Amino acid sequence: MNQDHIDRNEQQQTEALDNWLSQVGAQPVPVDTESARREAMRQIRREALQLKRHPVSWHSVVAAAAAVVLGFGFWWLFRSTDLAEHQGTGAVVQSTTPSAPRTVVVVNMPPQVELHSPAARESEPTIIVAIGPALAETADDDDVMGLF
């Protein structure tokens, strides 16, 4: 059997095989596509409904953005606050003095009241009361109690 004959034989077998395979492919499949689709869509609709109930809605996006803007606004407003400027306002401000307490409340006080906070000492005769973590170290309890 020479090579030509072998090649021709293989070629014929391949053609026959392709013919069989295409016959297999031509037969309709007994799969209920309707049922598979319907059941899948039922689950998909349920999933979509649950997503609607707990959406990442535009409301929550706007609220988050507003919070960020507001936070940034406060930071901008008070970022270089001189505590002395806020005397008597009662505002909660952030001190820029490195040695001062981080959070202070500026209140009306008689000038003669002396506090022991570094912020108070630096901004004399401005009257400042400090509250927050540094309070215990820098101010007497009596002074603070007297203010509120």
Residues near another protein, by CB under 8 A: 10, 12-14, 16-33, 35-37, 39-41, 43-45, 47-48
Nearest to 87 by CA among 63, 57, 123: 123
Pick between residue 33 and residue 80 the one whose CB is nearest to another protein.
33
Residue 4 structure tokens: 């030509």
Pick between residue 30 and residue 110 the one whose CB is nearest to another protein.
30
Pick between residue 17 and residue 70 the one whose CB is nearest to another protein.
17
Pick between residue 38 and residue 102 the one whose CB is nearest to another protein.
38
128 by Cβ neighbours in 10 Å (0-12 / 13-18 / 19+) ranks as: buried
Rounded Cα distance between 141 and 15, Å, is: 100
3-class DSSP assignment, residue 147? helix
Minimum Å gap between C-beta 45 and another protein is 6
Q: In what order do the strands lie in the sheet with 103-105?
A: 92-94, 103-105, 129-130
